[in-house]
Amino acid sequence: MASSKYLCLILVLATLALTDSKLQLGEPQETSITYYIQDYSYGPNATLIPITGVSSDGDWAFHRFGTIFCTDDPITEGLDASSTPVGRAQGIYVTSALDGSNTHVLISLVFTNEEYKGSTLEIQGASPQFERVREVSVVSGTGKFRFARGYATFETVYLDMAAAYSVIECNITMLHY
């Protein structure tokens, strides 16, 4: 009898603890943001470089299965590279489809702007890299984006092939606490 009383007490306390942590989190809020990723994939100031899967002559290609790129692209508020900096898109891309059509995106958006400084978002997914619009997941975040989940679309809105420079419009819709 005594032990079942204790069990009841433990259950009540456990329930209280759970309710308490729920109260601390509050209600999830939805946030949508649009930023621009400035990508330089060639030359001494490249912000995206191939790190494996490069052929012996130093040649590489986005569509070559197994190629892994490391990136540290600037993120800006506007399309123009000289517009207000927001942060950096840091991580890796792996050409993960045998036919080169998909790249696996694994990047953190590391914010440095006034609004989100110190917060990050984790973005991951199979990106159909040659489609006009690519959609991948927002799997988590830190700081203001704790427990974030949602999705991100990427659309190349400017491309200068000769300079290997492109601007990618990134829309993120997510729930977070």
Ligand X SMILES: *[C@@H]1O[C@H](CO)[C@@H](O)[C@H](O)[C@H]1NC(C)=O
Contact residues toward ligand X (CB under 6 A) are 34, 43-45, 133, 153, 155, 169, 171
Distance CA 174, CA 76 (A): 19
Considering the complex, what minimum distance in angstroms separates the CB of residue 39 from ligand X?
Answer: 14
Distance CA 76, CA 87 (A): 7
For residues 42 and 147, which CB has a smaller minimum distance to ligand X in the complex?
42
For residues 5 and 132, which CB has a smaller minimum distance to ligand X in the complex?
132
For residues 77 and 169, which CB has a smaller minimum distance to ligand X in the complex?
169
With H, G, I as helix, E, B as strand and everything else as coil, classify residue 35.
strand
Considering the complex, what minimum distance in angstroms separates the CB of residue 45 from ligand X?
Answer: 4
Considering the complex, what minimum distance in angstroms separates the CB of residue 55 from ligand X?
Answer: 24
Considering the complex, what minimum distance in angstroms separates the CB of residue 44 from ligand X?
Answer: 5
Within 13 A of 89's CA, how many CA atoms are on the CB side?
27
For residues 44 and 58, which CB has a smaller minimum distance to ligand X in the complex?
44
For residues 77 and 155, which CB has a smaller minimum distance to ligand X in the complex?
155
Considering the complex, what minimum distance in angstroms separates the CB of residue 152 from ligand X?
Answer: 10
**CA-based radius of gyration for the chain:** 21
